[in-house]
Structure 1
Amino acid sequence: MNIFFKFKLDTKLKKSLMLGIIGAIFTIFGLSLLMNVIIKIESKVGLIIGFIALGSGFIFLSVKNLFNHAKQNRNLSDLGLVNKIYDKNILSRGIKVVVIGGGTGLSVLLRGIKKFTSNITAIVTVADDGGGSGKLREDLGMLPPGDIRNCILALADTEPIMEKLLQYRFKEGTLKNQSFGNLLIAAMVGISDSFEHAIKRINQILAVAGKVLPVTTEDITLYAKLKNGQIIKGESQIPLKALENNSSIEKVFIKPKNVKPLEESIKAIKDADVIILGPGSLYTSIIPNLLVNDITKSIRKSSALKIYVSNLMTQPGETDNFTVGEHVKAILNHAGKNVIQYVYANNESIPNEIIEKYREEGAKPVELAQKDMEFFSKNKINVIENNYIEIKKGYLRHNAFQLSKDIVNLVIEKKYSHDKMRFLELNSIVKKVKNTANSL
C-alpha cells in the first residue's frame, strides 16, 4: 500500500494506471461479446476482436509506462524496490563470514557486515540465564532465545515497525520485561521438531541475510572461577559476584563439558573467508562459544582470516581495567594459540561526556597499551586501528559500517589478490556499497 501513497501525486503514473484500467475494461467487454457470439451467434466478430485488441493495447502501454517510470523515478529507490533483486544477487557473491559471540555488540557488527555480503553465519552463545531469556529457559525448558533474537533482527529484512514489535518488552503483568520476539521464538519451538529447526524457520520468515545458529542445542550452564578461588554458577551471576567479592575472573567453564556444536557451524567455519570473534562480553558472550567441543579446533584448522574485534569499554565485574591485549590473552588462555591473527581496535578519542556517563556505571575506555603491542608482536598478531566509534542516543557503539568495510577490504587483499577476476568482483561490491552509503 505504501507504493500507491508514493505514487499519489505523480501525474504520469496516474495516466499509466488509467490506461491500464481502460484497457482492462475494453478487454473484458470484448471477451464478454466473444462469449455472446459463441453462445448466441448475435454479434459481429470484427467488432469483438477490435475491442479485445484495443484493450490489450491499452494494457501493454500501461505496463510499459509503469516499467519505464520504475527505471527512471528515483523515488522508488527510497522504497528499496528498484535495486533489491540486483542487490541480493550481488551480495550473494560476497565473502563468506562467520561471526562468533553474542549480546548487543555482535548484533551491531552484523548490521554492518550484511551491507557487504549475505554469506554470513552468526554462531551465538546459549549460556544466558538472566532476564526474559532466563525466564523462558526456566519455565519452558528451552534454550535462551535473547542473543539469537538480536542477531536475527540484525540480519533480517524487516520493516522498522516489525523490528519494534519483535523488540517490544511488556511492561506489566506476568509477561513484564519479556520481549515479543522471545515469545515468537518460544512459540516456534513449540510447533517445531527442535530448537534448531525453530531458529531455521524464523530465519526464513524474517528473510535473514545468511543464517543465525545456536552454538549448541544442548542445555549448558556457564561457571566462573574467581581469583579468590570461589566458583560462581550462572552467566547472569558471574559479573555480580565478581564485584561483590572484589575478585576478578580467573577462568570460565561450561557444564556439561562435552557438548556438541551444530555440524552446520563446523562446516561454515571450515568454508569461511574470515572468522570474527566479538565484539561482546568477553567471559559471558565470546569465550563460552569457544568452550564447545570442536569449535576452537575448527577455527585453528580453517584457512580463514581470524579476527578479534576489541570492545570499546570495559565491563564491570568482567573486564575491569582490561586493555586490548588483556582481552586477547583471556581468549588465548581458554582457546589456545592460533585463533587470532588480527585485532581491530579503536584509536579515536571518546568524548568526555560519554566517558563520564560510563564511569558512573563502572566502565572506562579499553586502551591499547605499549605492553599490548609488544605481546602482539611476539605472538605474530597484527593490530589494525581506526576510528570505530559511533554515538547513538547517548550510548557508545561500534561504527559497524567502517569496521565492516575495513574487515572486508582486508579479506579481499589477503585472500584474493592472486585471483584477478574475484578480486575485481569483490572490490566492485565494496565500491557499490560505499557509493550507496555516500548518497544517503
Structure 2
Amino acid sequence: MAELTNLPPLRIVAIGGGGGSAQVLLGTRPFFAERTAVIAVTDSGRSTGAARTIAAIPAPGDLRNLLATLAADPNAILPRLMQHRLRSPAVPLLDGMALGNLILGGLAQMEGDFAAAVALARQMVGCPEQVFPVATTNTHLCAELIDGRVVKEEIAVRALGKPPIRRLFLDPPAAAYPPALEAIMAADLVVLGPGSFYTSLLATLCFDGIVTALRETSATIVFVCNTTAQPGQTDGMSIADHVTRLVDVIGPGVLDVALINDASGLHPAVVARYSAAGLTPLIVTETDRQAIRALGVEPLVRDLAEPDPGPRELWNKADTIRHDPQTLGLALWKIALDRHDQATG
C-alpha cells in the first residue's frame, strides 16, 4: 500500500438513494477529500409524492434525508426540523409530511431551480459534501414487467405481489444534471448503492448521460450489494443476480468490484426476524463468486453490517440490515488505495 503522503486527494461519488449514499459518505469522510452524492429523484411515495404534487418538483425525499443525515450537526434544530413529520389528521395530504420536503419545494419555487434549492438546503444545514440531484426534471419511474404489463410511478414499481421487473424507463425521458456527470468523470471512486435496487440505484441509471459517464470515467466503480432481498423488487434474486442485472444495464467491463456483506455470521433470530418480513438476508455462495468473476467483476466479501439495533419503525418503508458506515468507508478506501497502487505500479 502506498504511503498516504504520496497520495493525491481522493474523490468519491456515491450514486443512489438518500439512506445508502449517506452511509457511504459518512464512512468515507476521513479518507476522501472530495465527496459527492448523486441522488435519486423519482420516488412517488406518500410524503414525497404529496410534496411533488404541491410544489411541482422532482422527488425531494431522498435528498432531504441525505442532507439531514450529513448535516454538520444532525441533532441541531434545522436538520431535525427537516426530518420532522407533520401530524395533520384534518389535512390528510399533509399528515405525515416530512417538513424538509416542503422546505425544498419552497426553495425551488423561490429560486426557480430545483438544483439551486438543494444547494441552498445544503448550505443551511452545513453539509460538507457536495450534493446533486441526479436530474432536475419532474419525471416518473416506470417499469415493464416480465408478463408485458407496464406499471407507472415508483410506488407501483416497488409494489408487492407483482411479476418481476423486466426493464425500467422514465416518463417522460430526462437528461441527467450536468454537474452530476462532471463529478462522475472527475472521480477516483464511484460507488453504486447500497439502497433500493430498482427504485433508487437502477432508477438513477435511467437518466440520459449517467451510464455513458460510468463507461467513460477513469474511476474505479464499486457496487455495494444490499444485505437483504427487497419485497416487490428483488424477491428471489441472488447476489450474483444483482450484479448480473447491474452489468446488463451499464455494460460489460464497466463495473470493477462488487462489495458484498458476509452474512454468514448473522444470529438465527436476526435472520428469522427479517425473513418473516420478506427481507431474506443475502448469503454469498461460491456459485455467486464464480458467476461474478465470470462477468469480469471482482467479488470482495467483508463483514460490513452494523450491530443489530433491534426492530425499527421506518416511515412507509421496510427495515433492512444496514451497513456500518465506518466499516464500509474503510473498505472503500482500501479499494481506492489498491487501485491507485496498481495504476502507479
Q: Same fold (TM over 0.5)?
A: yes
Q: Give how far 1:312 is off.
A: 0.3
Q: Give how far 1:159 is off.
A: 4.6
Q: Give how far 1:339 is off.
A: 2.8
Partners of 1:151 and 1:103 lie apart in 2 by 5
Alpha-carbon distance change, 321 to 105 in structure 1, aligned in 2, over 3 angstroms: same
Equivalence map 1:147-166=2 (5 Å): 147-162=62-77, 163-166=79-82
Q: Give how far 1:118 is off.
A: 4.5
Partners of 1:180 and 1:262 lie apart in 2 by 25
Q: Which has the higher helix share?
A: 1
Q: Deviations over 1:286-328 (max 9, x none)?
A: 0111111111111111110000000001000110121111111
Structure 1 outlier segments of 4+, above 3 Å: 416-420
Task: Specify which of 239, 248, 251 is matched with residue 324 of structure 1.
Answer: 239
Q: Does 1:383 align with 2:302?
A: no
2:317 matched residue in structure 1: none
Q: Give how far 1:405 is off.
A: 0.6
2:113 matched residue in structure 1: 194
Alpha-carbon distance change, 312 to 379 in structure 1, aligned in 2, over 3 angstroms: same
Partners of 2:74 and 2:284 lie apart in 1 by 39
Alpha-carbon distance change, 386 to 238 in structure 1, aligned in 2, over 3 angstroms: same
Task: Give the root-mean-square deviation of aligned CA atoms.
Answer: 2.0
Partners of 1:405 and 1:233 lie apart in 2 by 39
Task: Work out whether residues 296 and 339 of structure 1, in 8 Å CA contact, stay in contact via their aligned partners in 2.
Answer: no
Q: Give how far 1:117 is off.
A: 2.9
Percent of aligned pairs sharing the same letter: 26
1:252 matched residue in structure 2: 168
Task: Work out whether residues 95 and 408 of structure 1, in 8 Å CA contact, stay in contact via their aligned partners in 2.
Answer: no
Question: What amino acid does structure 1 have at the position aligned with 2:156?
Answer: Q
Q: Give how far 1:367 is off.
A: 2.0
Equivalence map 1:12-91=2 (5 Å): none
DSSP 3-state at the match of 2:300: strand
1:48 matched residue in structure 2: none
Q: Does 1:412 align with 2:342?
A: no
Question: What amino acid does structure 1 have at the position aligned with 2:48?
Answer: S
Task: Work out whether residues 124 and 147 of structure 1, in 8 Å CA contact, stay in contact via their aligned partners in 2.
Answer: yes
DSSP 3-state at the match of 2:136: coil
Question: What amino acid does structure 2 have at the position aligned with 1:228?
Answer: D
Question: What amino acid does structure 1 have at the position aligned with 2:222?
Answer: I
Question: What amino acid does structure 2 have at the position aligned with 1:236?
Answer: I
Equivalence map 1:296-375=2 (5 Å): 296-348=211-263, 349-375=265-291
Q: Deviations over 1:147-182 (max 9, x none)?
A: 011121232212514333221111224221111211
Task: Specify which of 274, 279, 292 is matched with residue 194 of structure 2.
Answer: 279
Alpha-carbon distance change, 217 to 159 in structure 1, aligned in 2, over 3 angstroms: closer
1:33 matched residue in structure 2: none
Task: Work out whether residues 118 and 209 of structure 1, in 8 Å CA contact, stay in contact via their aligned partners in 2.
Answer: no
DSSP 3-state at the match of 1:178: coil
Q: Give how far 1:280 is off.
A: 0.7
DSSP 3-state at the match of 1:316: coil
Q: Pick the structure with greater CA Rg.
A: 1
Q: TM-score, normalised by structure 2?
A: 0.89
Partners of 2:65 and 2:254 lie apart in 1 by 25
The one of the two structures with greater contact order (alpha-carbon pairs below 8 A, sep at least 6) is 2
Partners of 2:198 and 2:140 lie apart in 1 by 13
Q: Give how far 1:103 is off.
A: 4.1
Equivalence map 1:216-231=2 (5 Å): 216-231=135-150
Q: Give how far 1:385 is off.
A: 1.1
1:169 matched residue in structure 2: 85
Q: Does 1:400 align with 2:325?
A: yes
Task: Work out whether residues 59 and 138 of structure 2, in 8 Å CA contact, stay in contact via their aligned partners in 1.
Answer: no
Task: Specify which of 31, 34, 37 is matched with residue 119 of structure 1.
Answer: 34
Task: Work out whether residues 309 and 344 of structure 1, in 8 Å CA contact, stay in contact via their aligned partners in 2.
Answer: yes
Aligned length: 325
Question: What amino acid does structure 1 have at the position aligned with 2:334?
Answer: N
Q: TM-score, normalised by structure 1?
A: 0.70
Partners of 2:218 and 2:57 lie apart in 1 by 34
Task: Specify which of 204, 207, 215 is matched with residue 134 of structure 2.
Answer: 215
Question: What amino acid does structure 1 have at the position aligned with 2:168?
Answer: V
Q: Give how far 1:379 is off.
A: 2.0
DSSP 3-state at the match of 2:215: helix
Partners of 2:254 and 2:172 lie apart in 1 by 23
1:102 matched residue in structure 2: 17
Alpha-carbon distance change, 313 to 359 in structure 1, aligned in 2, over 3 angstroms: same
Alpha-carbon distance change, 190 to 335 in structure 1, aligned in 2, over 3 angstroms: same
Q: Give how far 1:199 is off.
A: 0.8
Partners of 1:416 and 1:204 lie apart in 2 by 36
2:152 matched residue in structure 1: 233
